[in-house]
Amino acid sequence: MKRAFFVLILFAILLLTAHMVWAKVSVTLELDRLEATLSDAVQLKIHMSGARKSDAPPVIKGLDAFHVTRGGSASRVEIINGQYHSGVDFTYYLQAREKGAFKVGPASIEVDGKIYESNVATLKVTAQGTASGTASPPVFLTATLGSQKAYVEEQVPFILKLYLRVNVSDISLDLPEVGELTFRQLEKPKEYQAVFDGTSYRVLEVSYGVMPLKAGRVRIPPARMGMTVYTNQDRRARGLFDDPFFGGAFRSGRPLTVSSDPLALEVRSFPEKNKPAEFSGLVGQFAIEEKLSGSEIHVGDSVTLTVRLKGEGNVNRLPDVKMPALAHLKTYADEPVFETGPGANGPIGSKTMKWALVPEQAGEYTIPPFTINYFDPRKATYRTIRTKVMVLNVLPGESQKLITASQKEKKKDPSNHSKQAVKELGHDILPIYTSTSGLGNNGWLSSKSMGPENPYAWVVLAVPFLVYGAVFLGLRFNKKSDQAINAQRARKAAQNFMKECRKEKKDADGMIIAVRDYINDRFQLSIGSLTPADVPKLLVERGVDSRTADELRNVLEDLEGRIYTGGKATCGRTPQAIQEIIKRMEKELR
């Protein structure tokens, strides 16, 4: 009995000791290297011991100079020398934005309401090494401009090439943010094989058009591409799912961000010499076409005049040509039709304008040429294009011919003016009342039959008014109901958008759809497809400040660019930026 009691006491002491070991919490910060280059992804691990979970994720100081990617967390339980230890490891990947020596840490973790801090580590970051004299890098990014000089609003190709010798996934693109430049994707990304410095690479190429907005020297910061890289260097823990049979589907990768070199663009102003007075800022190569649906018509008929401007350049500045006023010729203009799309060296587009011409009298009408001025950056000169002179021959109308013919017949046959006696040809099928017998005392139209004593007479008289009142009230009610529903949707549009953003993490395509739904609800529209180019005009016409509209367009263009990078279209910090823009729009619309 004493022996059993002694064993129980010893077991209780062991349990208490184990509990005390678990209760001792410590936090350690560890870097997998202390020196790195701008292209390296450094692994940061936060080891928490003595607890199985924390109240919140770690808070790490000193990460402002890095791109940070979270790698996940893992719990562990260890028995060392008969003692139980539990803990959690948090993994992060850091990539420096610039050169220098940076202090990372301390990391703070809250456990049961108490905060524990880690040590501090120093990471030295140097410039990216070159390939000369060393092995070629497995991943790198280049950026080139089609020309080092350009005129204001001249489109310049901006080509990004991602060179790969390893497998990657989840590619995302961050374009440079420059206020004096706009970026527009020219074509879909393409993939091919190429040789660089004697080494074969798989190349992903993305083409953009850069349009400078004002003169001067513009510095273009580096573009960045983020991705997950898979390598076969670490084979210490090779397992079943690392077998090539599974295609590497269960391998874990490491995040990596590569940057291109910065570029510079010299932007020139338009020359003042020989500058046309009517120059509107149109830059590129353009042509004009004209067509008259008929050269000869009659008075009262119509003919369609079509003028089409087309070309390559800043096509958003294609002007609306105006039809000159011509005597005795009525003109009815259609809404201009503007079409645009990507081209090999920039956006291409056209604007088609049509007029219906209706002559009021016979004769010959001369339509003067339409004139357009633009600047040709290839020749560095102003050019003028114009339509041909068109002639419309108008003949007398058919109505005038009939009047002339009838007047001639009357002169030939004067008997046409003499009156003729009326002949009775027969009776109608239904009886015709030829007397007032129906108005007698017993007639069907008598006051006795249709008098106030007859309730049916009142019903007959009241029915039209009742029907009219019911229809009027019904239409009025439906109109008010539709207006109330639309007004309610407009009031809740921003609130619904914020809820949608907080509900789940959206990709770039989902965020564009959410913005489209917000605009539809806010302004009672039914847009099926929303492009960034349509946003400024649509919002400014409804009272939004032009700077806010342009800012939303830029964010949507960034999201659109992420969709076409070939990988996962992540949003980054874009949802917060859009939410701030939406809040600003709501204030401007009040």
CATH 2.60.40.740 boundaries in the chain: 139-232+252-267
Confidence of residue 11 (pLDDT cuts 50, 70, 90): low
Poorest-pLDDT segment among 63-67, 118-122, 412-416, 506-510: 412-416
Q: Which residue has the tokens 């690479």?
A: 201
Q: What is the pLDDT of residue 287?
A: 93
Percent share of the chain, pLDDT over 90: 22
The CATH number given to 26-126 is 2.60.40.10
Residue partners of 133: CB distance under 8 A and separation at least 6: none
- How do residues 106-132 score in pLDDT, each as one tens digit? 999 988 888 899 999 988 888 764 444
Q: Which of 349-353, 381-385, 508-512 has the lowest mean pLDDT?
A: 508-512
Name the residue with higher pLDDT: 421 or 89. Answer: 89
Q: What is the DSSP string of 120-163?
A: -EEEEEEPPPPSTTSPPPSEEEEEEES-SEEETT--EEEEEEEE
Express as a percent the part of the chain with pLDDT over 70. 72
Q: Is the pLDDT assigned to residue 352 strictly greater than 90?
A: yes
Q: Is the pLDDT of residue 6 over 90?
A: no
The mean pLDDT value of the chain amounts to 78
Beta bridge partners of 332: 356
Residue 266 predicted with pLDDT over 90 = yes
- Give tens-digit pLDDT for 35-71: 777 777 788 889 888 887 888 889 999 888 888 888 7
Q: Output 368 or 422, whichever has higher pLDDT.
A: 368
Instruction: Render pLDDT for 553-574 as a digit per residue (tens, 0 to 9).
Output: 888 877 766 655 444 445 556 7
The whole-number pLDDT of residue 572 equals 56
N- to C-terminal Cα separation, the chain: 86
Task: Indicate the fold that domain 279-395 takes in CATH.
Answer: Immunoglobulin-like (2.60.40)
- The pair of structure tokens assigned to 520 is 């539809």
Q: Does residue 9 have a pLDDT over 80?
A: no
Q: Which CATH class is domain 139-232+252-267?
A: mainly beta
Worst-scoring range by mean pLDDT, 185-189, 341-345, 447-451?
447-451
The dihedral formed by the CA atoms of 423, 429, 430 and 433, expressed in degrees to the nearest 10: 20
State which of 123-132, 188-197, 248-257, 339-348 shows the largest mean pLDDT: 188-197
Residue intervals of the chain classified under CATH 2.60.40.10 are 26-126
Q: Quote the DSSP letter at residue 205.
A: E
Range ranked top by mean pLDDT from 127-141, 142-156, 548-562: 142-156
Q: Among 79-88, 94-103, 339-348, where is mean pLDDT lowest?
A: 79-88
Per-residue confidence band for 20, with pLDDT thresholds at 50, 70 and 90: very low
Q: What is the bridge-based pairing of β-strands 263-268 and 149-151?
A: parallel
Of 319, 342, 313, 316, residue with least CA distance to 154:
313
Residue 471 has a pLDDT of 78
Predicted confidence band at 218 (pLDDT cuts at 50, 70, 90)?
A: very high
Q: Which of 514 and 590 is assigned the larger pLDDT? A: 514
Q: Is the dihedral of CA 185, 210, 192, 200 positive or negative?
A: negative
Choose between 489 and 442: higher pLDDT.
Answer: 489
47, two tokens: 């080891």
pLDDT, position 133: 42
Categorize the per-residue pLDDT at 237 as very low, low, confident or very high, splitting at 50, 70 and 90. very low
186 pLDDT higher than 50: yes
